[in-house]
């Protein structure tokens, strides 16, 4: 039994994971105004609550894992820098250990979500997986042989920050321009749709400003030609970066996550077709491309699994 923590910019979710399943969960609000010590107090309180609810104490829990946004130092257990909170270089591991008698693991949130999908979700049983999370940006996590591959300095998996169009005007938050994220994120799809918004899209969304990624899929479903054009171009963009990843890493499976993955085969099928068309020398696409299955639980379950994944070395 393990505790997983999904620390986000608006909420912290703490869950108890038993036999790879989320059996208890508690949530608390976070925010930029929260001090790191308040956050730790919340994590400790919620952890005790889920253990109480399940009628166990720390002796029955293997470890606690925390998925944190931004740049973390897993070995030292430090949140180095994140755009969600104002603090820097916070030793979250040490602080939590003061109040909980548990091994504490700290990892990047995209990496733990990838570990969740790779261990019990869409990539279960696969030797290697890249999980591409399509949301505000395009995040990623690499899992090889059941363990997070975070690179030599805990910064690997930033798959959204591969330039797919240099000399581009699409400047990126990372400081470069022409990154995949500028074309393939849900934000990008929304912008692409808004640029040519059809009456149908605006009607479905209940107003131009309300257009979201799902709107485009729904409008296309209803036969809106403009929505189809937007989607077809968007699938092209997705396929470019995915093919790049396959040429570089060639994982056994690529998992598409984020809210847009709820579109399942409406997203996956056209993307697979395009990636196949771009395979080296016309070879067969061997990497599977699938939609995520854990949804919002990926972060908590994956965080809980960090400890056991390290112990299985």
Report the residue from 31, 151, 206, 295 that binds a copy of itself according to the rule CB under 8 A. 151
**Contact (CB, 8 A) for 66 and 5:** yes
User: Hey, which residues between 227 and 246 contact a copy of itself (CB under 8 A)?
Assistant: 237, 240, 243-246
Site string for a copy of itself, 54-73 (x = CB under 8 A): -----------------x--
Q: How far is the CB of 179 from a copy of itself (least distance, A)?
A: 9
Size, binding site for a copy of itself by CB under 8 A: 50
- Name the residue nearer to a copy of itself (CB basis): 55 or 313: 313
- Name the residue nearer to a copy of itself (CB basis): 165 or 194: 165
User: Hey, which residues between 283 and 302 contact a copy of itself (CB under 8 A)?
Assistant: 283, 286-287
Burial pattern 19-30, b for ≥16 Cβ within 10 A else e, equals eeebebbbebeb
Report the residue from 18, 49, 218, 252 that binds a copy of itself according to the rule CB under 8 A. 252
Site string for a copy of itself, 68-97 (x = CB under 8 A): ---x---------x----------------
DSSP state of 282: G
Q: How far apart are CA 126 and CA 306, in angstroms?
A: 17
Burial pattern 68-84, b for ≥16 Cβ within 10 A else e, equals bbbbbebeebbbeebeb
- Name the residue nearer to a copy of itself (CB basis): 53 or 145: 145
Of 113, 97, 107, 115, the residue nearest 75 (C-alpha): 107
Q: How far apart are CA 224 and CA 198, in angstroms?
A: 8
**Contact (CB, 8 A) for 45 and 23:** no
Q: How far is the CB of 36 from a copy of itself (least distance, A)?
A: 20
H or E stretch including 288? Answer: strand 288-291
The answer to the question of residue 169 lying near a copy of itself (CB under 8 A) is no
The answer to the question of residue 170 lying near a copy of itself (CB under 8 A) is no
Q: How far is the CB of 135 from a copy of itself (least distance, A)?
A: 17
Of 45, 44, 56, the residue nearest 17 (C-alpha): 56
Q: How far apart are CA 91 and CA 23, in angstroms?
A: 28
**Contacts to a copy of itself by CB under 8 A:** 71, 81, 126-128, 140, 142, 144, 149-159, 161-167, 173-176, 237, 240, 243-252, 278-283, 286-287
């Amino acid at each position: 039994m393990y505790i997983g923590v999904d620390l986000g910019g608006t909420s912290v979710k703490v869950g108890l994971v038993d036999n790879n399943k989320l059996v208890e969960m508690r949530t608390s609000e976070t925010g930029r105004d929260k001090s790191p010590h308040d956050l730790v107090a919340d994590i400790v309180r919620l952890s005790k609550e889920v253990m109480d609810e399940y009628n166990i104490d720390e002796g029955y829990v293997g470890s606690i894992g925390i998925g944190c946004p931004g740049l973390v130092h897993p070995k030292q257990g430090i949140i180095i820098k994140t755009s969600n909170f104002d603090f820097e270089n916070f030793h979250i591991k040490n602080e939590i250990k003061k109040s909980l008698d548990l091994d504490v693991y700290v990892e990047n949130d995209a990496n733990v979500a990838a570990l969740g999908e790779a261990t019990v979700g869409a990539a279960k049983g696969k030797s290697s997986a890249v999980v591409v999370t399509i949301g505000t940006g395009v995040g990623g996590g690499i899992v090889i042989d059941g363990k997070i591959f975070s690179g030599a300095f805990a910064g690997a998996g930033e798959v959204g920050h591969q330039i797919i169009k240099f000399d581009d005007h699409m400047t990126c938050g990372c400081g470069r321009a022409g990154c995949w994220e500028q074309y393939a994120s849900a934000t990008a799809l929304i912008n692409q749709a808004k640029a040519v918004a059809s009456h149908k899209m605006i009607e479905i969304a209940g107003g131009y400003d309300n257009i979201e990624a799902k709107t485009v899929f729904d409008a296309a479903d209803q036969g809106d030609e403009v929505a189809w054009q937007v989607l077809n171009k968007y699938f092209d963009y997705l396929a470019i970066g995915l093919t790049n990843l396959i040429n570089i890493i060639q994982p056994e499976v690529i998992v598409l996550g984020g809210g847009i993955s709820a579109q399942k085969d409406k997203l996956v099928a056209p993307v697979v077709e395009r990636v196949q068309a771009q395979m080296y020398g016309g070879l067969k696409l061997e990497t599977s491309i699938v939609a995520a299955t854990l949804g919002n639980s990926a972060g908590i379950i994956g965080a809980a699994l960090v400890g056991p994944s390290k112990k299985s070395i």
